[in-house]
């Protein structure tokens, strides 16, 4: 059925192309039956398939009904409005928001993998829209481009050990810690009697000030002192939190001292 739908969309594109005077549709040479078959197989077991999001949902223009070979973020926005809106606020998506060409790793100041330099940052760069595998998007997609010390050290961290247990799941569980857990944090949105989980796709939101990372992410698992001592330890951040913090911020010593004085005063 899906193959027939794809064939119908392709045929529709040719008809529309001929109607407006194209000799050959501009995307005609990009249709590869092997790719179509592989994409269909991935889609059949996906969350999109379970929710009746089929080929035409993304590959057919809603207004003109024309075939869309490469859907952009506006197609994703029709269902994932909050995700796209926050994506366009971060470094990954801000160029698209400003009407410019997509960001590429070659433009970055951080070290990036040479083979990824020409990749264009769109929703589909990290998310395979056919498989909708968010486990892959949560870490593997990040390490496809990022080549800095902090990113490369993730695999040596306790966080990575927790995430490894989720590799067989279609999406990370609440107990795992991936790149996305800290840099694209989840939050719950109350809607009636249920809670909807949303992801902040603004990848710069929790970077600065560092206190924001503590509030939004670290304290979901760790205490406030442990979190602050970790996030302000530059060497530990570089090592991607491969061990407990050795830094001891004076602020917490001052707080404890003040609390002791208050307690002693109350006893007198």
> Count of domains in the chain?
3
pTM of the model: 0.79
Q: Let me know whether 46 and 86 are in one domain.
A: no
- Is 217 a domain residue? yes
Q: Which of 71, 92, 120 is the last residue of a domain?
A: 71
- pLDDT value of residue 72: 92
Encode burial over 4-30: b for 16+ CB neighbours within 10 A, e otherwise: eebeebbeebeebbeeeeeeebeeeee
Q: Let me know whether 140 and 125 are in one domain.
A: yes
Angstrom distance (rounded) from CA 197 to CA 194: 10
Q: Let me know whether 118 and 144 are in one domain.
A: yes
- Is 49 a domain residue? yes
Q: Let me know whether 172 and 214 are in one domain.
A: no
pLDDT in tens, the chain (268 residues): 444 444 444 443 433 333 333 334 444 455 678 888 888 898 988 889 989 999 989 999 888 989 898 899 999 999 999 999 999 999 999 999 999 999 999 999 999 999 999 999 999 999 988 988 888 899 999 999 999 999 999 999 999 998 988 777 667 777 889 999 999 999 888 888 888 889 999 999 999 999 999 999 999 999 999 999 999 999 999 999 999 999 999 999 999 999 888 887 765 5
Q: Let me know whether 90 and 53 are in one domain.
A: no
- pLDDT value of residue 23: 38
- pLDDT value of residue 215: 93
Q: Which residues contact 260 (CB under 8 A, 6 or more apart)?
A: none
Q: Let me know whether 243 and 137 are in one domain.
A: no
Structure tokens at 190: 């109350």
Residue pair 204/90 in contact by the 8 Å Cβ criterion: yes
Q: Which of 38, 71, 104 is the last residue of a domain?
A: 71
Q: Let me know whether 145 and 172 are in one domain.
A: yes
Q: Let me know whether 60 and 163 are in one domain.
A: no
21-31 confidence digits (pLDDT tens): 333 444 445 56
- pLDDT value of residue 108: 94
Q: Which of 39, 71, 103 is the last residue of a domain?
A: 71
- pLDDT value of residue 204: 94
Q: Which residues contact 173 (CB under 8 A, 6 or more apart)?
A: 166
Q: Let me know whether 122 and 199 are in one domain.
A: yes
- Is 268 a domain residue? no
Q: Let me know whether 234 and 197 are in one domain.
A: no
Residue 28's domain comprises: 1-71
Q: Let me know whether 101 and 194 are in one domain.
A: yes
- pLDDT value of residue 32: 78
Q: Let me know whether 173 and 94 are in one domain.
A: yes
- Is 220 a domain residue? yes
String of DSSP letters for 87-101: HTTSTTTHHHHTT-P
- pLDDT value of residue 116: 97
Angstrom distance (rounded) from CA 188 to CA 175: 15
């Amino acid at each position: 059925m899906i193959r027939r739908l794809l064939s119908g969309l392709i045929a529709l594109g040719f008809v529309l192309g001929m109607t407006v005077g194209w000799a050959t549709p501009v995307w005609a040479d990009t249709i590869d039956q092997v790719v179509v078959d592989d994409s269909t197989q991935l889609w059949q077991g996906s969350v999109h398939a379970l929710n009746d999001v089929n080929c035409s949902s993304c590959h057919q223009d809603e207004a003109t009904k024309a075939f869309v070979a490469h859907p952009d973020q506006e197609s994703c926005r029709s269902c994932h409005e909050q995700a796209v809106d926050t994506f366009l606020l971060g470094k990954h998506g801000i160029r698209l928001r400003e009407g410019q060409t997509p960001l590429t790793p070659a433009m970055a100041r951080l070290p990036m993998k040479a083979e990824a330099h020409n990749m264009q940052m769109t929703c589909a760069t990290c998310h395979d829209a056919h498989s909708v595998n968010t486990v892959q998007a949560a870490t593997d997609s990040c390490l496809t481009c990022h080549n800095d010390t902090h990113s490369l050290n993730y695999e040596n961290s306790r966080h990575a050990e927790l995430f490894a247990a989720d590799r067989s799941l279609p999406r990370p569980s609440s107990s795992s810690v991936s790149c996305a857990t800290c840099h694209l944090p989840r939050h719950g949105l109350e809607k009636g009697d249920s809670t909807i989980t949303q992801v902040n796709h603004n990848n710069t939101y929790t970077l600065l000030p560092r206190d924001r990372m503590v509030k939004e992410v670290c304290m979901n698992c760790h205490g406030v002192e442990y979190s602050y001592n970790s996030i302000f330890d530059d060497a530990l951040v570089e090592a991607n939190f491969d061990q407990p913090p050795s830094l001891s911020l004076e602020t917490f010593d001052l707080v404890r001292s003040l609390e002791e004085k208050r307690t002693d005063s109350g006893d007198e």
